[in-house]
Every structure is written in C-alpha cells, then in structure tokens.
Amino acid sequence: MGNAKLTFSETVRATIDNKTKPVGSLGVIESLAAQIAHVQQSLTPRAETCILTIFAGDHGMAAAGVSAFPSEVTQQMVLNFLSEGAAANVFANSVGADVQVVDAGVMGAPIEHPALIQKRVAPGTANAIVEPAMTTDQLEAALASGEEIGRALTCDVACFGEMGIGNTSAASLISAKVLGLPIETLIGRGTGLDDAGLARKSDLLAQAAQRTPGELDAKTALTEYGGFEIAMMCGAMLGASDTGRIIIIDGFIASAAALCALKIRPACAQNFIYGHCSAEAGHRRVLDAIGAAPLLDLELRLGEGTGALLAWPLVKAAAAMLRDMASFESAGVSGPG
C-alpha cells in the first residue's frame, strides 16, 4: 500500500514531534503551536506583533451600588490609559505590545484626545436592574463598530481589554443568562466589595435576573444586561477572527464577551486562546462551560487586558518553537530509537 497523504493536522503534529526534543515534552506549548499553525494555516507561524485594544463604557446599574467605585472612575481611567499610567500600559510596554483605547459608551461629555478612538454608542447604558441596558439598534451599532475595529487590526495577535465601573455585574448577568446558570453562582467582589457590598450586589443582580427568562440567546443577553464595551469587544473578537488573527482572551468580562461571540459565530473558537483564570468568582465557571484551558492562574482580577498581555509571551514562544526550532534531521541529532 502507498503512503496516504497526511492531513494538515497530521503534518503539524509530525512537524512538532520531529523537533529536537522528546515527543510531548513541551506540553501546552505544543498544543498552542498547533492551534496557531491551524489559525494561520502555516508550519512557520508568526506571533511577533500584538495590539491591546481597551474598550471603555459605563453601566446604568452602577448608580444602584453594584460597585465599590463611582462611575466617574471609568472616564478617569480612560485618561490614565491615554497617559500610559495604568497596569495595562506598563505590562504592554514590558512585553512590547501596542495599546489603543476606544470610547464605546463612557458617561459624561465626549473625551477629547487625539489618540482616543471615538465609537461611543451612548453615554452609558440604562439601568439593567429594572430595564434593558440598551436597544437592539444600540447593540447592533456596538457589534458593528467592534467588528470594524477587529478587522482593521494589523497585528499577529489581538488582546482585548475593558474598563467600565459595574461591568463585573454585567458579565455575571450575561454569563448566567447565556449559560442558563443561577446568577448567584457567578457573582464576585469585582473592584473589591466588602461583605455588605457583596450582599447588596447579590440582591440587586438577583432582582435584575428575575426580569427575563432563565436562559437567553447571546444577543438578547447583551441587549438586556450588557455594556457597550462588552458588546463592542464581542464584535471585535468576531472581526479579528474573520481576518485570521490569534486572539488572547483576558479575564471574566472578556470571557463573557467571548462566550457571546462563540454563540453568535462558533467558528471563531479556533482563534481563541484563554490567557488566564482570574480570581473573580464567575470566571472559572465560564471557562469550564466553554471548555477552555487557561494558560495562567495568577489570581488577577483587574481586567484591562492585563492577563492577556502576560500570556502573550507564551503564545509568541509557541509560534517561534514551531517556526524556528531545529528538527532531528536538520540538526544532525539522533532521534528516539
């Protein structure tokens, strides 16, 4: 019998196994390399450039007391990002990534800054505890703007982060409704609520969850409970996937956006790499539901794309391994007997 032609998957596996190392000895790095090869359809993949896009938006429910911080902090942090003073900026500089910031729906007057990408849908959402967070037209506008941003990226690897006081509450509600889980299993301390604050948040989110059926499709969940930054990030993940980008998913809020993107367009799953598991209560549940294996577990709970940035060097190294590491033949090294 003649040798059957190898599939691309088999060729990738054989190429990795023929590197100068014992088979399987690089563990998760080998799996990452194979995933990147499939996304780029190349045995010499590249993950040399990275852009972090931070989407900012405010939430009407923040005024009810679901966060330890007031909504004004969202705009203040946008200015901090633009001044390169935030953790995301510091981490990006340390790993050689670029940062861009998008106003998806920050409260107050529009922020005037030449580096800010202005895509504001409205100055914050409605109070999702008592009414839908946004209209269907607003949702579609946010998704479309996100897709445009995602498609316009020129980097090998895309990281997406967010800023929005109240957005762990939105992520909890979205995730609970899309997955059909009880809301209480997805509620955490967010920006650092004390016990009394956590109890108040839990009561408010239970009230919000009771407004709608136990399970919703992704677009309805985003309309009822989302933030403009979450919806726009979801759209950006779809756009970046369509153009063959590798996407590193950040923490709880980004994973809620990714969950919605997967429900809207399941094919984007192959592009998603899950950077870390955060300390926020609902994140592990969402990752488990997606079937995701996060690369890191550093007890982060900041957002901003920080965890995705810290995972990027692993992704970069995995691509470099497949692209640049010698084979047994090329190195003149004896393979296993």
- pLDDT, tens only, 39-48: 999 999 999 9
Give Cα separations from 110 to 5, 52, 105, 146 (angstroms).
58, 22, 9, 19
69 shares its domain with 12: no
- pLDDT, tens only, 267-285: 999 999 999 999 998 999 9
Residue 1: inside a domain: no
CATH of the domain at 327: 1.10.1610.10
206 shares its domain with 297: yes
107 shares its domain with 190: yes
- pLDDT, tens only, 154-179: 999 999 999 999 999 999 999 999 99
**Is residue 2 very low, low, confident or very high in pLDDT (cuts 50, 70, 90)?**
very low
Residue 64: inside a domain: yes
Kindly report the pTM of this predicted structure. Answer: 0.95
Residue 136: inside a domain: yes
27 shares its domain with 151: no
133 shares its domain with 184: yes
218 shares its domain with 326: no
20 shares its domain with 82: no
Residue 2: inside a domain: no
C-alpha 2: how far from its chain's center?
46
Contact 326, 15 (CB under 8 A): no
Residue 336: inside a domain: no
User: What positions carry a catalytic annotation?
Assistant: 304
160 shares its domain with 221: yes
Contact 163, 258 (CB under 8 A): no
Whole-angstrom Cα distance, residue 115 to residue 107?
19
Average pLDDT value for the chain: 95
Domain that holds residue 40: 8-46+320-331
Residue 264: inside a domain: yes
307 shares its domain with 227: yes
26 shares its domain with 128: no
First to last CA, the chain: 25
> Average of pLDDT values for 223-252?
98
Whole-angstrom Cα distance, residue 287 to residue 252?
9
pLDDT value, residue 67: 86
143 shares its domain with 278: yes
59 shares its domain with 18: no
